[in-house]
Amino acid sequence: MTPYTAARPFLFSLPPETAHTLAYRGLRLAQRTRATDLLAERYTVRDPRLAVTCLGERFPNPLGVAAGFDKNAEVVTALSSLGFGHVEVGGVTAEAQEGNPRPRMFRLREDEAIINRMGFNNDGADRIGARLDRTDLPEVPLGINVGKSKSTPLERAEEDYRYTYDRVGEHADFVVVNVSSPNTPGLRTLQNREGLERILGALSDAGASPLLLKLSPDLRAKAIETALSVVSDLDLDGVIATNTTTERPESLQNVNRVEDGGLSGRPLETRATECVRFVAERTDVPVIGVGGVFTAEDAYRKIRAGASLVQTYTGLVYRGPSIAREINGGLLGLLDRDGFDSVEEAVGADLTK
Ligand SMILES: Cc1cc2nc3c(=O)[nH]c(=O)nc-3n(C[C@H](O)[C@H](O)[C@H](O)COP(=O)(O)O)c2cc1C
């Protein structure tokens, strides 16, 4: 039994947001006390076969932390010491926001899933920018996820994204535009051509690079194709597939399935992998695959479907701090089994294009 499997019944007896806050405090403490070196020794799998070069950066391994876990960019070093190859912080919005009233995060244990309607609770671009200014950032690449403040009207969304980028952008190794969260009213309507061109165009003009677009898994094929044509027209650098879904698969067991919000975790895995494949078949820019990654096999499926990198959030909640070690170690075995010399060689192995 790992320390996390021992502690999990306790953590899971708490409301999910309380458990998250506790884990977050633990990570902050580890960071302050420099326990991160010990953690890194315990959890990091170092092997050149895992390294991926894309977006102008060298990622030591393909697995990163998805947006939403470190909304305020407070525990980047601690997360990297758990063996993750990159960390995406945020969603950051121009204004500091409380988010939606609690409870707003629900565990669906039997389903290995979470439903959340956090609503972009975060310290806001000014404070997060100042925090990043004084933080000693780790060597792994840092992504910054940018969302829209709730009070900013949709017609002026681009000003909001631009404001945030101007405050935090210099610290980002890549910038992610999030118009795919289901928890800010109307946000997802900005995923049409006009909305995307306005927001992505404004950030691109401001110098955001590499610039990636994060997609909703609920977009139909035509809408994804439209989004990809904007990515190509504006010469953007990558796509993240996917955010959480508002769909509720029939298979869900837990009573919390009726809660409003975005569903993540195991029930999203197949749909997210399909989206990765759909995108990778139609574009040459790197794809980051996210949704239901719990194991090396899950990560490998997304890589073979065309993901250069993968991310996890819900997997970290259910599997705990050793998830990166398990996935990276497991990936090495899968590469060996299938005769690949590196992760990079396996990217897109299942694609027919
Ligand atoms: C509590 C919670 C908060 C999230 N916040 C954000 C966010 O601020 N921005 C964003 O782009 N995605 C956010 N996400 C979505 C994740 O980054 C990820 O795309 C999604 O959860 C699917 O991955 P998973 O199945 O590994 O959790 C959030 C997810 C959860 C569970």
Q: What is the CATH number of the domain that holds 250?
A: 3.20.20.70
Taking CA 36 as the corner, what is the angle to CA 31 and CA 40, rounded to the nearest 5 degrees? 150
Report which protein residue has its CA nearest ligand 1's atom 2.
Answer: 68
- Out of 114, 313, 317, 319, mutate this one to test ligand 1's pocket (max ligand atoms within 8 Å of CB): namely 313
Which structural domain range is residue 200 located in? Answer: 3-346
CA of 297 to the centre of ligand 1 (A): 20
Quick: pLDDT tens for 119-149: 999 999 999 999 999 999 989 999 999 999 9
Q: Give pLDDT, residue 256.
A: 98
CA of 228 to the centre of ligand 1 (A): 21
Q: Which residues are within 8 A (CB) of 35 and not within 5 positions of it... i.e. 6 or more apart?
A: 29
Residue 351: inside a domain, yes or no? no
Q: Give pLDDT, residue 1.
A: 75
Check pocket membership of 66 for ligand 1, CB cut-off 6 A.
yes
Report which protein residue has its CA nearest ligand 1's atom 22.
Answer: 291
Q: Give pLDDT, residue 2.
A: 82
Check pocket membership of 182 for ligand 1, CB cut-off 6 A.
no
Residues marked as catalytic: 181
Q: Which residues are within 8 A (CB) of 34 and not within 5 positions of it... i.e. 6 or more apart?
A: none
CA of 49 to the centre of ligand 1 (A): 28
Dist CA 106 CA 257 (whole Å)? 9
CA of 243 to the centre of ligand 1 (A): 6
DSSP 247-280: ---TT--SGGGGS-SEEEEGGGHHHHHHHHHHHH
Q: Give pLDDT, residue 353.
A: 65
User: Which is the closest atom of ligand 1 to the Cα of 20?
Assistant: 1
Which parts of the chain have pLDDT scores under 50? Answer: none
Residue 253: inside a domain, yes or no? yes
Residue 110: inside a domain, yes or no? yes
Check pocket membership of 268 for ligand 1, CB cut-off 6 A.
yes
Check pocket membership of 265 for ligand 1, CB cut-off 6 A.
yes
Check pocket membership of 145 for ligand 1, CB cut-off 6 A.
yes
Check pocket membership of 62 for ligand 1, CB cut-off 6 A.
no
Check pocket membership of 141 for ligand 1, CB cut-off 6 A.
no
Dist CA 326 CA 332 (whole Å)? 10
Our count of domains for the chain comes to 1
Residue 353: inside a domain, yes or no? no
Check pocket membership of 67 for ligand 1, CB cut-off 6 A.
yes
Report which protein residue has its CA nearest ligand 1's atom 3.
Answer: 68
Quick: pLDDT tens for 235-284: 999 999 999 999 999 999 999 999 999 999 999 999 999 999 999 999 99
Residue 352: inside a domain, yes or no? no
46-82: burial string, b at 16+ Cβ within 10 Å, e else: ebebbbbebbebebbbbbbbbbbbbbbbbbbbbbbbb
Q: Give pLDDT, residue 129.
A: 98
Check pocket membership of 92 for ligand 1, CB cut-off 6 A.
no
Q: Give pLDDT, residue 120.
A: 97
Residue 35: inside a domain, yes or no? yes
User: Which is the closest atom of ligand 1 to the Cα of 269?
Assistant: 25
CA of 303 to the centre of ligand 1 (A): 19
